[in-house]
Amino acid sequence: MHLTQALKRAVQIKGNEIASFCAGRERTWLEARERIARLAAALYSLGIKDGERAAILALNSDRYLEYFYATPWAGGVFVPINIRLAAPEIEFWLNDSGSRVLLIDDRFLPVLAALQGKLDTVAHVIYVGDNNCPDGLLDYEQLVASHPPMEDTNRGYEDLAGLFYTGGTTGRSKGVMLSHRNLVTNSYNAVPALGLATDMKWLHAAPMFHIADGCAIFGVTAVAGTHIVIPAFAPEATLQAIQTHGITNTLLVPTMVNMVVNDPDVLNYDLSSVRGITYGASPMPEAIIVRAMEVMPDCGFTHAYGQTECSPLVSTSGPECHVLAGPNAGMFKSAGRAVIGVELTIKDGQGQEVPRGTIGEICSRGAHVMQGYWRQPELTANTIKDGWLHSGDAGYMDERGYIYVIDRIKDMIISGGENIYSAEVENALYQHEAVVECAVIGIPNEQWGESVHAIVRLHANQPATQEELIAFCRSLIAGFKCPRSVSFRDAPMPLSGAGKILKTKLREPFWPDQSKGVN
Amino acid sequence: MHLTQALKRAVQIKGNEIASFCAGRERTWLEARERIARLAAALYSLGIKDGERAAILALNSDRYLEYFYATPWAGGVFVPINIRLAAPEIEFWLNDSGSRVLLIDDRFLPVLAALQGKLDTVAHVIYVGDNNCPDGLLDYEQLVASHPPMEDTNRGYEDLAGLFYTGGTTGRSKGVMLSHRNLVTNSYNAVPALGLATDMKWLHAAPMFHIADGCAIFGVTAVAGTHIVIPAFAPEATLQAIQTHGITNTLLVPTMVNMVVNDPDVLNYDLSSVRGITYGASPMPEAIIVRAMEVMPDCGFTHAYGQTECSPLVSTSGPECHVLAGPNAGMFKSAGRAVIGVELTIKDGQGQEVPRGTIGEICSRGAHVMQGYWRQPELTANTIKDGWLHSGDAGYMDERGYIYVIDRIKDMIISGGENIYSAEVENALYQHEAVVECAVIGIPNEQWGESVHAIVRLHANQPATQEELIAFCRSLIAGFKCPRSVSFRDAPMPLSGAGKILKTKLREPFWPDQSKGVN
C-alpha cells in the first residue's frame, strides 16, 4: 500500500500512453514517472524526506499532479493548500504543518510577498508557473532537468502521506493526517463506487488541493486512466475541455454543476463522451440535479458523501438512484450506501447504534479513517472513538442502508430535552415566499436550556412578521421545532470561505461566554 | 481491513435479500449474519479464539461459507483442507496447523475413522452434513441453534485469518499464512479485475477449499452479491445451476471449462445470464477457450493468474483479450497484467528486473503478499525477498505489461550455461503425432552440468525413434534446447493430486543424491 505503486503499474501497462494533458502539454506515463523521479530527487535534496512536509499553493496543473507523486517518492508528506484562503490562514497552515518547501504559481506570488518574514519553517520556494522564475525562487522545470531520477524511497502503509487542512469555519484549521494506507484504501473504494476504468479520461476542474478531487488523482492513476487538467473551474472552460478531450468522467461540486448545466451555450457542446459525473461536498438542490439529468441523459451521476477525515469517500448513491420513476425515484437525495471497505452506522450520543430511520451522528470505521489531527491528540480522541470516526453530521439510515444527511451535529438545538435540527427548521422557513436567506440557531433559555431562534433576511418588497413566520412553520413541522423568536436582518449572512453560513458569528451576540460558539 | 466488515455491509444494504442458496436452502444476509454469530459463539466456546485454528474437510455448502466468516468472527483462523488428499496428507495438515476443531461432512467420515488416534490437537469434530450426526461428533445445526450470537471479536489487519496449504508435489506441504489485510486486499483487487457487481449471482462450483474460489467467497460478499453453492463440480449440475439460478459469474479451472463447453447437452441449456467466467490455476488449451467463446458469445472470459502465496490474484487478462481478431487477438494466452494494487515484475537470478521479452522469475509485491509459511521462517525468507514474492514461475512480460508464464523455475534445465525451459521442449514434442504424453527434465552431465532428457509415451500403433523425435524438435526449436536423449515408457506419467506430472518422481532415478529432486 504505497501511493507510488499505482504510478508504477500505470507505467508498466501503458508506458507510452497519455498520463496527463494540461495547457497544451502531453505527458506519457513513462515521461511522467521520469519527471516525478527527478522532482523527487530535487525535493529530497531540499530536505523533503523521512516525513518532512512540502506544501503547494497553486491552481491546477500537471505539475500539481507530479507533486502528489514526487513528494511520497522522496519520502515526504504533501500539504495542499486551499487557494481561497486569506494570507493569515495560509501563514497558519504553513507554520502549523512545519513545511520546509513551498511550491507556488503566479497567482499566489502576491501572497508570498505578504508572508515575507512570517514563515517559520519554509526554507525553499519552488516556482511552478509557466513564466520566468522570479528572483529568489527555485524554478520547477530547472529542478526537474538538473536532477537525475532517484529510486523510490518506497514509503507506504502506515507512513504519513499527506496533511489536508480542514475546518476554519469554527475554531482553527486542523491538519488531517492521511497515511498511505488511508489514501490507497480510498482509491480502491473509489474504483467501483465512481465507476473508474482504464479507458477513462478524467477532467480535473474542481480544485486539486481539495481531497474530493485528490480522491480522483489517486483513483484515476490506480486504473491508469488519463488526467486532463484545467487551471480552475469555469463553465465554458469545462464544457470546452469535455468536448475537446472526450472527457468520460469528472467531479464537480453542486454550484459547478449548476453553472455548467445552466450555461446558455450548454446544448451547443458535444457532451456525449461523458459517462460519469460525481458530485458532493455540499447539498445539491433537486432542480439542479434534475436539470443535469435532462442535459446529459446518458451520463451516470453519483452523489458522493465523505469527509477529509475519511480520505474522503464514505458512501455513494450512484446512477441507479438518479432516476425519476420506479422504486429508486428521487433517491439521489440520499448520500448513498457505504462504499466497499467502509463500515457505516448512525450512533446516538452514547455511542450506541440507533434504529433505522432515527436521526443520530453518522460514523464510519475502517482503513479509510485518518490517523488523526496533526499535533492535536485530544481533538483526535474526541473524533475517533473505538475506531469510529464521528463525522459531526446528523443523519439517518433507511431500511436499505441509504443514509440521509440532515444537519451538522453542532448546529443541533437541544430544547427541553428534544433534539431539533436547524436544517429542518430552515427548510420550512425557506418555503415561505418572503424569505431570501435564513439561519436557525439555539439561544439561551432558562426554562428549556436552549430555544429555537431564526435569523431571517426578507425580500425587499415582501414584508413578513415574526408571528406570521412562526405560524407558517407550525403548518409544516412539529410545534416544538418551530422558532420561538425571529430576528430580521438586511445584510447577507456572514459566509465561510467555502460559502457556508457562519453560525458561530450569528450565535456570538447570544452566547457571551462562547460556550456554544466554539467546537 | 476485517473480513467480517464486508459481511456487515452486505447485511446493512441487503439485509432481506438472498445471501446464499444451497441444497434448497435460502439464507438472507440477516439470517446469514445471525447464524455466523451463533456458530462463532460455538467455535469460541470450543477454544477457537485468539488465532486458534479450526479446519474443515468437506464438499461445498452454505455452511462452508458460514465457517469462513464465523471463524474470524470468533477470533480464530480457518484451515480449509484439500478434499483430494490421502489420509496421511490430511493428518499432516491437521497436525502441522495444530487445529483444535475439525468440521467434516459425510463424504469424509471414513477418513476420520482412518485418522483415529493420529491427530495431536483436534479436540472437537463438528459434523456439517445433512444426515443424523454420528456419535461422538458435534452437530453443526445444534451448535448454531444452542448458542446465542456473540459480538464480533473484530480481528483484522495484520492478524492471521487463514492457513491455506499448498505444494506437496515436491517436498512437504506448506501452510500459507494469509492475514486479514491479505485477503481483504485481494477482494478489493478482485472486484474490478473479475467484474464483480452487487447484482451478481456467483456459482461456487470449483471446490471452496481452494484459494481460487476463496477469492470469490470474499469478493462476492464485498459487493453483496449472491452465493449459489453446489456440492462439487459436475458438468450437468453446473449447467443446471446456471439455468435455474440465472448465474451471472463463476470460476472454473480449464478442465471444468472443457467438460462444460463440450458437454453434449450444452446447447440445450439457457446460459444467457452468464456475464463472466474466470479461469486459471493451470494452462488453458487454446481449442477449449475458443470453443467456450463460441458456446457463450456474450460471456466475458477472464484468465486469472496468481498463487496461494498472493492471496491469490496477481494478474488478469480480461474480456478485451478474449478476441480472435484485432490488436488483442489471442491475448488470452497471456496471464494478463497486474491487477490494481499489485506491483509485478520479472527478475533474473540476481534479483534484477529483466528487459521486456526476457524470461525470468515472475515476482510481485504489495499488500497481497502472504505473511509467510507457517512455522517455516527459512523457506519464507527464500520466497519473500525485499518484499518481493518469488513465484517460482518462469515467464516474461511484453511491452504492454502482459505476462506470459513459461514454466516452473525448478523445471528449468541449465545446460552449458544456457537456461532451457522444459515446457518449451515439451510443446515441441507434443506436436509430433506419435506422442501421447511427455516430460522433459535435466539429467546429470559431466560436460554441460545438465543435459536435456525427454521421457515419452507413444501411441500404441505409432512408433518413433529417439533420433526421429530429436530431429523433429530441431525443426521447431534451437539446437541447444533439443533433447540429447529420450527414454520411452508405456505407463502413464505419475501425477500429483492436482493432476500435474510429478517430475520429482521422474528425476529420481537420474539424481541419486536428490539434489535436484527436492525444492
Average pLDDT of chain A to the nearest whole number? 93
For residue B189, list chain A residues with Cβ-Cβ distance below 8 A.
188
| Residue A149's pLDDT band (cuts 50, 70, 90) | very high
Are the Cβ atoms of A9 and B343 closer than 8 angstroms?
yes
Q: Do B416-507 and B339-408 fall under one CATH topology?
A: no
Highest mean pLDDT among A419-423, B260-264, B453-457: B453-457
Q: What ipTM was predicted for this assembly? A: 0.85
Q: Is B339-408 a CATH 2.40.10.10 domain?
A: no
| Residue A168's pLDDT band (cuts 50, 70, 90) | low
| Residue B97's pLDDT band (cuts 50, 70, 90) | very high
For residue B6, list chain A residues with Cβ-Cβ distance below 8 A.
340
For residues A167 and A297, the model is more confident at A297
| Residue A385's pLDDT band (cuts 50, 70, 90) | very high
In chain A the first and final C-alpha atoms are separated, in Å, by 34
Which tens digits make up the pLDDT trace of B108-167?
999 999 999 999 999 999 999 999 999 999 999 999 999 999 999 999 999 999 999 986
Are the Cβ atoms of A5 and B400 closer than 8 angstroms?
no
Task: Identify residue A141 by its one-letter amino acid code.
Answer: E
Chain A residue with CA closest to B182: the answer is A1
Residue among B13, B188, B399 minimizing CB distance to A341? B188
Cis peptide before A312 (omega within 30 of 0): yes
- CATH number assigned to the domain with residue range B3-232, chosen from the 4 options 3.40.50.2300, 3.40.50.300, 3.30.413.10, 3.40.50.12780: 3.40.50.12780
Alpha helices in B56-116 (DSSP H): 62-74, 87-97, 109-114
> For chains A and B, what is the number of CB pairs under 8 angstroms?
84
Cβ-count burial B291-321 (b if 16+ within 10 Å, e if not): bbbebbeebbbbbbbbbbbbbbbbbbbbbeb
What pLDDT score does B41 carry?
A: 98
Cell, residue A115: 508572508
Are the Cβ atoms of A341 and B13 closer than 8 angstroms?
no
What pLDDT score does A172 carry?
A: 72
Average pLDDT on A259-283 reads 91
Query: What is the architecture, at CATH level 2, of domain A337-408?
Result: Roll (2.30)
What pLDDT score does B416 carry?
A: 84
CA distance to partner chain B, nearest, from residue A317 (Å)? 12
What pLDDT score does A516 carry?
A: 43
| Predicted confidence (pLDDT) at residue A519 exceeds the cutoff of 50 | no
What pLDDT score does A371 carry?
A: 97
Q: In terms of C-beta density within 10 A (0-12 exposed, 13-18 middle, 19 or more buried), how is residue B502 classed?
A: middle
What pLDDT score does B412 carry?
A: 85
For residues A148 and A450, the model is more confident at A148
CA distance to partner chain B, nearest, from residue A153 (Å)? 13
What pLDDT score does B516 carry?
A: 43
Which tens digits make up the pLDDT trace of B17-33?
999 999 999 999 999 99
Domain locations along chain B: 3-232, 339-408, 416-507
Are the Cβ atoms of A343 and B8 closer than 8 angstroms?
yes
Could you write out the three-class secondary structure of B329-357?
A: CCHHHCCEEECCCCEEEEECCCCCECCCC
| Residue B472's pLDDT band (cuts 50, 70, 90) | very high
Sequence-ordered list of residues with C-beta below 8 angstroms from that of A327, at least 6 positions apart, any chain:
none
Which tens digits make up the pLDDT trace of A424-451?
898 889 889 999 889 999 999 888 889 9
Query: What is the architecture, at CATH level 2, of domain B416-507?
Result: 2-Layer Sandwich (3.30)
| Residue A515's pLDDT band (cuts 50, 70, 90) | very low
Pick the residue of A7, A8, A13, A153 with the most B CBs within 10 A to test the interface with B by mutation.
A13
Half-sphere exposure of A353 (CA within 13 A, CB side): 9
What pLDDT score does B396 carry?
A: 95
| Predicted confidence (pLDDT) at residue B440 exceeds the cutoff of 80 | yes
| Predicted confidence (pLDDT) at residue B511 exceeds the cutoff of 90 | no
| Domain at A27-156, CATH class | alpha beta
Half-sphere exposure of A170 (CA within 13 A, CB side): 18
What pLDDT score does B207 carry?
A: 94
- DSSP state for residue A386 in the 8-state scheme: T
pTM for the complete prediction? 0.88
Are the Cβ atoms of A338 and B367 closer than 8 angstroms?
no
Average pLDDT on B342-371 reads 95
Task: Identify residue B88 by its one-letter amino acid code.
Answer: P
Cell, residue B419: 537456461
Lowest mean pLDDT among A355-369, B130-144, B399-413: B399-413
For residue B14, list chain A residues with Cβ-Cβ distance below 8 A.
400-401
Average pLDDT on A57-63 reads 97
Pick the residue of A340, A356, A369, A388 with the most B CBs within 10 A to test the interface with B by mutation.
A340
| Predicted confidence (pLDDT) at residue A497 exceeds the cutoff of 70 | no
Distance between CA B113 and CA A304 in Å, rounded?
A: 57
For residues A254 and B317, the model is more confident at B317
For residues B173 and B208, the model is more confident at B208
CA distance to partner chain B, nearest, from residue A369 (Å)? 11
